[in-house]
């Protein structure tokens, strides 16, 4: 790597990372829940390879209200409920201002809903402390942003390796994982280039590789093709699709591009902060609570090789 990573770079990366069970009392009885490809109310998911397991993401009655000018309330989300099954790529669709980013922030623990609950792998994200949510984002949930979010002074390899540095992964193991991920996204020959020396599509590939660094269970991408031309956007979406398959993870990706919806397994549509349609039709699942504790915030386990 070209130069040591500075404390300032680590602080900037940490800021970037942070800025990127039965729900409620009776999870199986939540009205209006849309289960994307899961089971009928009260039952385990049917006709899926993960039957009997909780969905990767469960959203129950989530609303988010902000105080606008002159004290007026702005309802960014209103009573949104749906499930995302494990191992699926789901497109979150809607016009700009429909509430997609707010919903993704609530799901990923970057924001707290005004009411309702969010569950990831059976853990209630909305009940976690800030420290626990940081651990969740570090170890189990990864983000890909529209603006890439790369540290400009660092090379592609250094950007990809930052999440592992924050987990204190051994240097030899980290460098091996970085090399594997850059090869996975087709940038093995660009490891020493900085973001300013890469095209928009290449920068987004680096951001995807960085998101995969700690082998997350859930990938959240907010308009990842929004700043790219149509052809490059399709390439990035195809890459995300192949990565989800290869890594066995679950992905929730927001977009307003109709051509990209066809690449997703299912779609969920928002309008004016409300869930209006889903493919397949609405069904209800009842995910059991996962009793496992959160990963520790210090001395994390060793990073597994793919």
- Domains of the chain and CATH, by start: 7-279 (3.40.50.300)
Q: Residue 83: helix, strand or coil by DSSP? A: strand
Q: Residue 148: helix, strand or coil by DSSP? A: coil
Which of 245, 59, 235, 250 has the alpha carbon at shortest distance from 141?
250
* Residue 62: count of CB within 10 angstroms of its CB: 26
Query: For residue 187, what pLDDT is reported?
Result: 93
The answer, as to whether pTM is greater than 0.75, is no
Query: For residue 59, what pLDDT is reported?
Result: 95
Distance (Å, whole) CA 148 – CA 206? 8
Confidence bin at 51 (pLDDT 50/70/90): very low
Provide DSSP, 234-302.
Answer: HHHHHHHHHHHHHHT-EEEEEE--HHHHTTSSEEEEEETTEEEEEES------PPP--PPPPPSSSPPP
Contact call for residues 164 and 213 (beta carbons, < 8 A): yes
Arithmetic mean of pLDDT, 162-178 = 93
Which of 179, 214, 197 has the alpha carbon at shortest distance from 302?
214
Tell me the per-residue pLDDT of 285-300, one tens digit each, with 9 for 90 and over: 554 444 444 444 444 4
Confidence bin at 176 (pLDDT 50/70/90): very high
Distance (Å, whole) CA 34 – CA 233? 28
Distance (Å, whole) CA 127 – CA 117? 8
Phi, psi of 289 (to 5 degrees): -70, 140
């Amino acid at each position: 790597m070209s130069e040591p990573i500075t404390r300032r770079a680590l602080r900037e990366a940490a800021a970037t990372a942070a800025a990127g069970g039965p729900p409620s009392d009776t999870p199986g009885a939540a009205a209006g829940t849309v289960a994307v490809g899961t089971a009928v109310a009260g039952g385990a998911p049917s006709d899926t390879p993960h039957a009997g397991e909780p969905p990767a993401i469960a959203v129950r009655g989530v609303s988010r209200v902000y105080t606008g000018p002159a004290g007026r309330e702005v309802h960014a989300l209103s009573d949104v409920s749906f499930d995302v099954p494990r191992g699926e790529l789901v497109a979150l669709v809607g016009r700009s201002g429909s509430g997609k980013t707010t919903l993704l922030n609530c799901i990923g623990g970057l924001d707290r809903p005004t009411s309702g609950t969010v569950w990831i792998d059976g853990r209630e994200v909305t009940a976690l402390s800030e420290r626990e949510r940081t651990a969740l984002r570090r170890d189990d949930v990864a983000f890909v942003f529209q603006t890439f979010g790369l540290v400009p002074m660092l090379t592609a390899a250094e950007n990809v390796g930052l999440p592992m540095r924050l987990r204190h992964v051994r240097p030899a193991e980290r460098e091996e994982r970085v090399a594997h991920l850059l090869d996975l996204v087709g940038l093995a020959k660009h490891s020493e280039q900085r973001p300013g020396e890469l095209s928009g599509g290449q920068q987004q590939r680096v951001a995807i590789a960085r998101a995969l660094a700690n082998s997350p269970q859930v990938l959240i991408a907010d308009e990842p093709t929004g700043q790219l031309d149509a052809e490059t956007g399709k390439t990035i979406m195809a890459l995300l699709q192949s990565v989800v398959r290869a890594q066995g993870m679950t992905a929730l990706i927001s977009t307003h591009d109709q051509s990209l919806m066809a690449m997703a397994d299912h779609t969920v549509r928002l309008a004016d902060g409300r869930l209006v349609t889903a493919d397949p039709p609405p069904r209800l699942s009842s995910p059991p609570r996962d009793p496992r504790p959160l990963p520790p915030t210090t001395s994390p386990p060793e990073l597994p090789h793919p």
